[in-house]
Every structure is written in structure tokens, then in C-alpha cells.
């Protein structure tokens, strides 16, 4: 049987050395993963809320005003509304997927997952600009849950865990 080809970085996602004992996941890392799951749930709620708004009469009126100010070949009202729905759905799927992915790989001890979660939280903070409340509650909850999850991952015990997982994979 031929040996599989070696790809650089392949070990970041896959456990190549299944016989090597992996360190026990600290409770802080487990809690952080659950907090990221909570942030994903908040994104699901935000996506549903945005979908309801994107097909509302209020949004349709705003789009009609926008089309009225356009010159030249303006898009149709339905195409603008459909683009809005598609954007909301795609952004929601990508964000939920990212939160879940980082949560899963945090529990596996991947250092890149805590860095990625930090970047995701920073991007979520940018969403707070111009948010109106109570609609923006879900975004605020995502920021709080995500920031708490990332902070837990950089405590001494989890930091030792991530280092030990990295050492066991080398």
C-alpha cells in the first residue's frame, strides 16, 4: 500500500498521529466552545430577523426610494430585494459556520482556532457601528459571548493545553 502524499499544513485540521495520547481538554476550553455555539445561535436569530426585514413593506419602500434616485439603467425592485435576501442568507451561513468551526477545533486544541475566533469577534465588533436596538441585541450578544470565549482560551491552563496539543502533534 502506498503512503499518502504529504501536504504542508495538513496536520492543522487532521489528527495524523491517532496513537498519540491527546491532553485532556480543560473546562475553560469546553466552556469557550459552548460560548461560541451561543454566538452562532445569536447569529441564527439575527439572520432570521434580517430575513423578515428584507422582505417587509418597509424595506420595499426604502428600495423604491433608492431606485427613484438612480439614473440610467436601474435594477428592478424584485432583483434588489432578492439580492438583499441572498446576501443575508449567505452572510448568516458563513458566520454561523465560522463560529461552529472554531468551536469544534478549539476543543481539539488547535491554536489557530482561538486566533480565528478572535478575528471573528473583531469583525463582529465592526457590525456594532450604526446598529439600532433592540434589533442589535443579537450582535451585542455575539460580541460578548465571543470575547468571553476568546479570553477564556488565553488563560494559563488553556494556553498550556494548546501548547501540549501542539507538542503532541510534532
For residue 165, give the H/E element and its range. helix 156-169
Closest CA to 28 of 137, 141, 106: 106
Q: Give the tens place of pLDDT for each residue, 71-91.
A: 778 778 888 888 888 998 999
Q: Give the tens place of pLDDT for each residue, 31-45.
A: 999 999 999 999 999
Cα–Cα dist 83/1, whole Å: 50
Other C-beta atoms within 10 Å of 68: how many? 8
Q: Global pTM?
A: 0.80
Rounded to 5°, angle at Cα 108 from 9 and 14: 35
Amino acid at each position: 500500500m502506498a503512503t499518502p502524499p504529504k501536504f504542508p499544513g495538513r496536520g492543522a485540521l487532521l489528527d495524523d498521529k491517532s496513537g498519540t495520547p491527546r491532553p485532556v481538554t480543560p473546562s475553560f476550553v469546553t466552556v469557550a466552545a459552548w460560548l461560541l455555539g451561543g454566538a452562532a445561535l445569536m447569529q441564527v436569530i439575527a439572520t432570521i430577523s434580517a430575513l423578515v426585514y428584507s422582505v417587509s413593506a418597509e424595506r420595499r419602500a426604502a428600495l423604491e426610494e433608492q431606485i427613484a434616485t438612480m439614473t440610467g439603467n436601474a435594477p428592478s425592485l424584485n432583483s434588489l430585494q432578492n439580492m438583499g435576501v441572498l446576501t443575508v442568507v449567505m452572510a448568516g451561513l458563513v458566520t454561523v459556520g465560522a463560529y461552529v468551526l472554531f468551536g469544534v477545533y478549539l476543543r481539539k486544541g488547535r491554536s489557530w482556532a482561538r486566533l480565528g475566533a478572535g478575528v471573528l469577534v473583531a469583525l463582529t465588533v465592526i457590525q456594532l457601528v450604526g446598529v439600532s436596538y433592540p434589533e442589535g441585541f443579537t450582535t451585542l450578544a455575539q460580541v460578548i459571548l465571543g470575547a468571553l470565549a476568546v479570553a477564556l482560551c488565553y488563560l494559563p491552563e488553556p494556553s498550556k493545553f494548546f501548547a501540549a496539543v501542539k507538542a503532541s502533534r510534532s
